[in-house]
């Protein structure tokens, strides 16, 4: 999960760093085709649907009820979350062209803020004190990361105005992703759909809809937001010409497609075999890997404020997801060893996971 998640962001950024000639004898220019890259990401999610049916065929005749739907459901329930996923992903790929990979990954932590607020407003959930503290810490961490972007040195490829716009687009995308999560929890998860099937169905909707939207995008002028010679919102033909002239772009796109498929499968496996807490820890470590590799490859300059921002964001994520509870439990056990036998007796009939919020 850690490797595939890191490859997903790094391969998308790697493709942006390549330059090649496009169609019609145009000059060499950067491969900036965020909507086409989003189509590739949905293709990777769509492959999870194939993985679901393969696992289901393998589980035929075995006592593995997890592969069988508990009740019938309407696949159109996945359409609203898929539309949110399509919009949020497209915005994030546009933003990735404007800012650094590490800031991109750190700012994605803003999803905690909006998910928490929306769950209170629309799902009637009550957040505990640690979750509110986690939201406040995340806001503080985002401010520090944004300040680091403002103070960092910017080259001709990433001007200050583009970096600010990219950061704002990432925050906007997290609002849409939070809406997607609320929709999934309210309308989809109650049908007990297998996670691979859910991801694959959303990927199918996103792939079909966004592929069709590439046609009108070919004619819509985009001004400074365009990265192709024609100045349109997306030029898929130009992208294919660049891929044909620079095979490494195709390798980066393949890495993006395959990594998102394995990332979703690995994330589901980690949650099932270990815990959701472990999944959140690994997802946080992904930011460190992306940041370190971006510095090593010379894609961005080091700024000490990013360390502070990342640590604050990590603390906010830990508080919101209850990662502090095992530590407090361990400390309480050390302080009261005489009650250990009684505690074991009380817990002998319960197997509640440590990350359970109930």
3-state per-residue secondary structure call for the chain: CHHHHHHHHHHHHHHHCCEEECHHHCCEEECCCHHHHHHHHHHHHHHHHHHHHHHHHHCCCCCCHHHCCCCCCCHHHHHHHHHHHHHHHHHHHHHHCCCCHHHHHHHHHHHHHHHHHHHHHHCCCCCCHHHHHHHHHHHHHHHHHHHHHHHCCCCCCCCHHHHHHHHHHHHHHHHHHHHHHHHHHHHHHHHCCCHHHHHHHHHHHHHHHHHHHHHHHCCCECHHHCCCCCCECCCHHHHHHHHHHCHHHHHHHHHHHHHHHHHHHHHHHHHHHCCHHHHHHHHHHHHHHHHHHHHHCCCCCCCHHHHHHHHHHHHHHHHHCCCHHHHHHHHHHHHCHHHHHHHHHHHCCCCCCCCCCC
Tokens of 235: 């030029």
Q: What is the mean pLDDT of each run of 10 residues along the chain (358 residues)?
A: 82 87 82 93 91 82 54 82 93 90 89 90 89 93 89 66 90 93 79 82 94 95 84 93 92 91 71 57 77 83 86 88 72 57 40 37
Q: Which residues pair with 232 in a beta bridge?
A: 221
| Dihedral sign, Cα of residue 222, residue 225, residue 230, residue 234 | negative
CA-to-CA separations, 220 to 225, 226, 310, in angstroms, rounded:
11, 10, 38
User: Rounded CA gap, 117 and 98, in Å?
Assistant: 28
User: Rounded CA gap, 272 and 265, in Å?
Assistant: 11
CA-to-CA separations, 221 to 19, 31, 82, 230, 266, in angstroms, rounded:
22, 18, 25, 8, 39
Q: Which residues pair with 30 in a beta bridge?
A: 19
User: Rounded CA gap, 229 and 329, in Å?
Assistant: 59
pLDDT computed for residue 153 by the predictor: 64
pLDDT computed for residue 270 by the predictor: 62
pLDDT computed for residue 158 by the predictor: 65
Model pTM greater than 0.85? no
pLDDT computed for residue 37 by the predictor: 94
pLDDT computed for residue 335 by the predictor: 56
Contact 118, 179 (CB under 8 A): yes
Tokens of 213: 């939207």
| Dihedral sign, Cα of residue 311, residue 315, residue 320, residue 324 | positive
Contact 317, 139 (CB under 8 A): no
pLDDT computed for residue 280 by the predictor: 60
């Amino acid at each position: 999960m850690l490797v595939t998640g890191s490859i997903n962001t790094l391969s998308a950024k790697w493709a942006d760093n390549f330059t090649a000639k496009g169609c019609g004898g145009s000059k060499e220019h950067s491969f900036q085709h965020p909507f086409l890259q989003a189509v590739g990401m949905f293709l990777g999610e769509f492959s999870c649907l194939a993985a679901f049916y393969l696992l289901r065929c393998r589980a035929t005749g075995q006592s593995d009820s997890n592969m069988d739907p508990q009740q019938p459901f309407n696949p159109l329930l996945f359409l609203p979350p898929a539309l949110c996923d399509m919009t949020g992903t497209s915005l994030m790929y546009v933003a990735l062209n404007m800012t650094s990979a590490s800031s991109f990954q750190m700012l994605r932590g803003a999803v905690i803020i909006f998910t928490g607020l929306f769950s209170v407003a629309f799902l009637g959930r009550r957040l505990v004190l640690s979750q509110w503290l986690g939201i406040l810490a995340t806001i503080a961490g985002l401010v520090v990361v944004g300040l680091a972007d403002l103070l960092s040195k910017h080259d001709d490829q990433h001007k200050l105005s583009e970096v600010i716009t990219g950061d704002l687009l990432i925050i906007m995308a997290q609002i849409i992703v939070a809406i997607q999560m609320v929709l999934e929890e309210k309308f989809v998860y109650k049908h007990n759909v297998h996670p691979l099937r859910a991801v694959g169905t959303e990927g199918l909707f996103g792939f079909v809809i966004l592929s069709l939207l590439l046609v009108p995008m070919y004619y819509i002028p985009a001004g400074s937001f365009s990265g192709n010679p024609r100045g349109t919102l997306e030029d898929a033909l130009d992208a294919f010409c660049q891929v044909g002239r620079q095979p490494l772009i195709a390798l980066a796109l393949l890495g993006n497609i395959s990594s998102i498929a394995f990332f979703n499968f690995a994330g589901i496996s980690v949650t099932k075999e270990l815990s959701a807490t472990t999944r959140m820890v690994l997802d946080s470590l992904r930011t460190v890997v992306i940041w370190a590799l971006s510095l090593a490859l010379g894609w961005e300059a080091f700024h000490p404020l990013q360390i502070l921002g990342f640590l604050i964001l990590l603390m906010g994520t830990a508080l919101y997801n209850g990662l502090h509870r095992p530590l407090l439990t361990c400390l309480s056990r050390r302080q009261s060893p005489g009650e250990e036998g009684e505690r074991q007796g009380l817990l002998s009939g319960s197997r509640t996971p440590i990350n359970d919020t109930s």
